[in-house]
A and B are shown apart, each in its own frame.
Chain A
Amino acid sequence: MILVNSVLTGAVLTGLPTATPSTFETPDVNWAALSPMLIVMGAGLIGMLFEAFLPRGRRHSAQVILAAAGIVVAFVALVVLAVDNRTVTMGGSVVIDGMSLFLIGALLLFGLLGVLTFAEKFGDDRPDAFTPMGASVPGSSYEAAVARAGLATSEVFPLALISLSGMMMFVSAGDLITMFVALEVLSLPLYVLVGLARRRRLLSQEASLKYFLLGAFASAFFLFGAALLYGYAGTTDLAGIAAAIGSPPPGMEPLLIPAILLVLVGLLFKVGAVPFHSWTPDAYQGAPTPVTGFMAAATKAAAFGAMLRFLYVGVESARWDYRYGVAAIAVLTMVVGAVVSVSQTDVKRLLAYSSVAHAGFILVGVLAFSTLGLRGVLFYALAYGLTTIAAFAVVSTVRQNDSEATNLSQWAGLGQRHPVVAGTFAFLLLAFTGIPLTSGFTAKFAAFAPAVESGTLGTVLVVIGVLASAVTAFVYVRIIVLMYFSDTPTDGVTVAEASPLTTAAIAVGTAATLILGVIPGPVLELAERASELLR
């Protein structure tokens, strides 16, 4: 530290005269490349205007149509405009390259399926999953009055759109400060969405508080790490940081490793890696089930996108200094996620621990540090997200006494009464396990194969990953056995008549799980072509 001290004081004396740049250069903005993000964000802002000016009765359908249309138009813009404009734009802040295009496409798909599940009414006159008034105290007369008055929280759609635009910005952020702003834009609406469940509202509010406090804590770590990296490199630009690692600035070397670790804490929190996973089970269980599906799929894809860019573009050349630390976290994540899921009795909580384990599997692919590893991570994020949204949509249809039957004991014998729903869920669980002919197998193979090629560390990680998969297989097969071979079906557990919206989301997710398992070629090839990072 004494070295830092003396050299930093030296830097002050020499550095000052350049403090004010003489001319201001306007950054070049490539609007075509940015169009998907801008469309989604614009749709979110228009949705807020709808909330203010449309009569109450027409808000729900207008918001659903606007959100779905916004996402579809953004996807069209992505395919037509952005694909041909792979570029570094906004003065290096936004990078539209293969990886961000692929992940933006995946996120838009998750967003569309998410909006479909958000809109489910189950024959009621308002969205089934969301409270009529988030501000009312649970169980109060005010809550009853707003329910009678027919209020509904249709603002969940603009919130989801704004969160989605933040995610799209997160995967394409080219400097740490854009990444930080995107992190907050994606997180803040999610904190609110988590707290808006219609039933079991105390649980939902509690989940919201925990997610918020821990999320804010983690983003503070990210920001301080970004500050230290700025001190190290003199810029927050990821390419600039990579250049600075190549020729280390004198006296600043001790800042590098703590800075990388602090930034990684923020990113690993978002993917739910152990030991930064403690929010995952609570937030997943307490949140309205459609929100859980959306955030499980989309947040994971977005956070792994940002992590890939940070690790592969920014600090790749320092990887020998931190890879054992990240590898240890990957091992912990896989083992804890798999082992703790064995003892779970709540379906949503069980899927949360499963998502923790999956975060570990994806980390194994990240640590391969190769183009094939990048391809594996992209494919895994897409396959896992589609399966997850469908799984949570199925969970939202299984009911007892007009409330979701999330306790595992309530799922006993479901296969005898509702073979289609139970069969779909069993298939999705097999995909989580990684059984061949499901997308889970292809994804695990795509993520693990490059890790084996990367060396001894990767091989060790893959062995642990396969063992952890075996443990999770026990968990999932136990549920399947419970659904099909349990003699005592619980009374009163029904499957709600789902509207075409939820049915479509489940169908798309399940079909994608099957197709990506049987004929993964085209999508793997797409992910391969997307495995390039602009610097």
Chain B
Amino acid sequence: MSLVNYIYLSAILFTIGGATVLLRRNAIIVFMGVELMLNAANLAFVTFARMHGSLEGQVIALFVMVVAAAEVVVGLAIIIMIFRSRRSASIDNVNLLKA
């Protein structure tokens, strides 16, 4: 199978993740969309590494995983903080700040 199909797959995953962020209302699900986008980028990195025959892309994928894990730690903490204050994790309910 041609490697370029993996690039198409990663673009599709990225788009699904972006649509999830824009369309879903639960903060946890929105955050899952962001993680999907990061992992789509990882798939692209690994595939391009294979195409170029260099290891750099694979190392980068490991870096991205670590960064994504750190982001999860901070993100879940913030979402739980909001949930405990408001008994809801819906991003439609956080509307106190307005012009």
A residues near B (Cβ < 8 Å) are: 4-5, 8-9, 11-12, 15-21, 134-135, 137-138, 177, 180-181, 184, 188, 191-192, 195, 201-203, 205-210, 212-213, 216-217, 220-221, 223-224, 226-228, 230-231, 234-236, 281-282, 285-286, 340, 343-344, 349
Contacts and interface: CB of A to CB of B under 8 A. Distances in A.
Nearest to A192: B74
Given A12-B50, A12-B51, A235-B56, A134 B82 contact: no
A230 B85 contact: no
Given A16-B53, A213-B31, A224-B41, A137 B97 contact: no
Nearest to B84: A137
Nearest to B87: A137
Given A135-B81, A343-B99, A4 B4 contact: yes
B79 interface: yes
B56 A11 contact: no
A180 B64 contact: yes
Interface in B30-50: 30-31, 34, 37-38, 40-42, 44-45, 47-50
A202 B93 CA distance: 12
20 contacts: A8-B2, A8-B7, A8-B51, A11-B51, A12-B51, A15-B52, A18-B54, A19-B53, A181-B63, A188-B74, A191-B74, A203-B97, A207-B97, A216-B71, A217-B34, A217-B37, A220-B34, A220-B41, A236-B60, A282-B97
Contacts of B60: 177, 230, 236
B54 A227 contact: no
A208 B85 CA distance: 13
A224 B97 contact: no
A234 B27 CA distance: 36
Contacts of B64: 180, 223
A205 B81 contact: yes
B27 A8 contact: no
Contacts of A223: 37-38, 41, 64
Contact of B94 (A12, A137, A210, A226): A210
B91 A213 contact: yes
Contact of B4 (A9, A191, A343, A344): A9
A131 to B, nearest CB: 11
Contacts of A184: 67, 70-71
B82 A205 contact: yes
> Which 7 pairs, one residue from A and one from B, show the smallest C-beta to C-beta distance?
A15-B53, A220-B37, A227-B44, A231-B48, A234-B52, A223-B41, A18-B53
B17 to A, nearest CB: 7
A21 B21 CA distance: 39
A388 to B, nearest CB: 20
**Chain B CB within 10 Å, residue with most, of A209, A227, A234, A349:** A227
Nearest to A349: B99
B23 interface: no
A232 B84 CA distance: 46
A206 B27 CA distance: 12
A17 B52 CA distance: 10
A114 B83 CA distance: 30
Given A15-B53, A223-B41, A5 B2 contact: yes
Given A184-B71, A208-B78, A286 B84 contact: no
Contact of A134 (B42, B51, B71, B81): B81
B97 A227 contact: no
A204 B32 CA distance: 23
B32 to A, nearest CB: 11
Instruction: Name the residue among A19, A203, A235 with the largest chain B CB count within 10 angstroms.
Output: A19
A344 B97 CA distance: 12
Residue of B3, B31, B40, B71 most packed against chain A (CB within 10 A)? B71
Contact of A191 (B42, B57, B78, B82): B78
A223 B84 CA distance: 32
A12 B3 contact: yes
A143 to B, nearest CB: 11
A412 to B, nearest CB: 21
B55 interface: yes
Nearest to A226: B41
Given A202-B96, A216-B31, A227 B48 contact: yes
A133 B44 CA distance: 41
B57 to A, nearest CB: 6
B27 A213 contact: yes
Given A281-B97, A344-B99, A9 B2 contact: yes
Given A5-B2, A15-B53, A177-B63, 20 more contacts: A8-B7, A9-B4, A12-B2, A16-B53, A19-B53, A138-B85, A180-B67, A181-B67, A192-B74, A195-B81, A201-B85, A202-B85, A206-B97, A209-B94, A213-B27, A213-B75, A227-B42, A227-B44, A231-B47, A234-B48
B82 A206 contact: yes
Contacts of A210: 94, 97
Nearest to B67: A184
A349 B74 CA distance: 25
Contacts of A202: 85-86, 96
A231 B44 contact: yes
A209 B79 contact: yes
A226 B61 CA distance: 12
Contacts of B85: 137-138, 201-202, 205
B56 A230 contact: yes
Contacts of A228: 44
A209 B27 contact: yes
